[in-house]
Each structure stands twice: as structure tokens, then as C-alpha cells.
């Protein structure tokens, strides 16, 4: 696994914020999910390509300066009361699987798709399983699905 992400396992999720297109958001479709951990903020974001994620360790001040937030195109939200991500706060991350695309380009009969690096993320905590990926926008599932789609196009990064 990329050295940047190797220390995420065994950390406790201290807080979670999300970036959405609206202040009153739909749970399943976050633009970004930000986990506050002991060593920084693990930010998972859907890219504009409609198929890949951007993953990075950052801090809240860098996130506040991200494109879109300063002009109100996106909103950095606290979690709503009914948001299922709340169930992950205080939980220890037992396993982090990061799916990386095998190819940067996917070719069909009459089309070409340029992929970013990461196809999705699967995070197992003490009591829950979260899957986050990008299918024409971020999609998040807690305890409903257990796989990232299109398994033939990606592989889990080895630790």
C-alpha cells in the first residue's frame, strides 16, 4: 500500500465531515468523505471523470482551500442526525482496502475512458463495513454492499 495510507489501519475515527453539492444532502452521494484520524484527515473524493477517486492525507485548513468550497459550489457539512456515517465515529479501522485501476485507459468499441488512479475504498471497522466509489458521482454504502464494482478493472493495493 502507498506509504501515505499504510498507517490508517488501527486508527480510531475521531470525527467525520463530508463535502456535498448541497447543505441538505442525500446520504448515498457525497462528493467527499473526510475522516479525522490521529495522523490527519483521510479525504476520499470523487473525481470529475465519473469513475475514480482522489485519496489523500490532509488537514482541515487545506480542505477549506479546496476548489469549489470558497465559491459555494460545494459545502463542507457536519453529519446530519440520520447520517449512517455517524455510526463509524469512535470506531477503529481494522482494514483498509484501496482498489487501484490496472489501466489508465479503458477502450470500448466506439469510446475511450481515462481513469484516475483509484477505483474505490473499502473500510472495515469494529462493527461496520463502508464502501465508497465513483459512478458519475460519489457513492457511499454502510453495511449494504461489500464490493467495489467492475472488479476486473482494478486490484487491491498490497501492503
Quote the distance between the C-alpha of residue 28 and its chain's center.
Answer: 12
The reported pLDDT for the residue numbered 73 is 75
The reported pLDDT for the residue numbered 132 is 96
* C-alpha to C-alpha distance for 151 and 156, rounded to whole angstroms: 10
* C-alpha to C-alpha distance for 55 and 84, rounded to whole angstroms: 21
**Per-residue 3-state assignment (H helix, E strand, C coil) for the chain:** CCCCCCCCCCCECCEEEEEECCCCCCCCCCCEEEEEECCEEEEEEECCCCCCEEEEEECHHHHHCCCCCCCCCCEEEECCCCCHHHHHCCCEEEEEEEEEECCCEEECCCCEEECCCEEEEEEEECCCEEEEEECCCEEEEECCCCCCCCHHHEEECCC
Read off the pTM.
0.88
Decide if 141 contacts 110 (C-beta within 8 A). Answer: no
Residue spans of the domains in the chain: they are 15-156
pLDDT along the chain (159 residues), means of 10: 78 95 84 95 91 92 80 83 95 95 69 72 97 93 92 82
Task: Cell 482496502: give the residue.
Answer: 97
Extract the C-alpha cell encoding 102.
490496472
The reported pLDDT for the residue numbered 65 is 83
Amino acid at each position: 500500500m502507498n506509504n501515505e495510507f499504510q498507517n490508517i489501519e488501527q486508527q480510531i475515527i475521531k470525527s467525520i465531515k463530508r463535502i456535498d453539492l448541497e447543505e441538505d444532502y442525500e446520504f448515498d452521494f457525497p462528493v467527499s468523505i473526510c475522516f479525522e484520524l490521529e495522523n490527519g484527515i483521510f479525504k476520499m473524493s470523487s473525481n470529475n471523470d465519473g469513475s475514480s477517486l482522489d485519496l489523500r492525507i490532509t488537514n482541515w485548513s487545506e480542505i477549506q482551500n479546496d476548489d469549489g468550497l470558497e465559491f459555494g459550489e460545494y459545502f463542507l457539512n457536519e453529519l446530519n442526525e440520520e447520517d449512517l456515517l455517524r455510526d463509524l465515529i469512535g470506531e477503529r479501522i481494522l482494514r483498509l482496502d484501496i482498489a487501484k485501476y490496472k489501466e489508465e485507459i479503458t477502450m470500448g468499441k466506439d469510446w475511450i475512458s481515462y481513469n484516475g488512479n483509484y477505483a474505490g475504498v473499502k473500510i472495515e471497522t469494529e462493527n461496520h463495513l463502508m464502501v465508497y466509489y465513483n459512478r458519475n458521482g460519489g457513492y457511499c454504502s454502510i453495511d449494504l454492499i461489500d464490493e467495489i464494482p467492475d472488479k476486473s478493472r482494478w486490484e487491491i493495493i498490497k501492503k
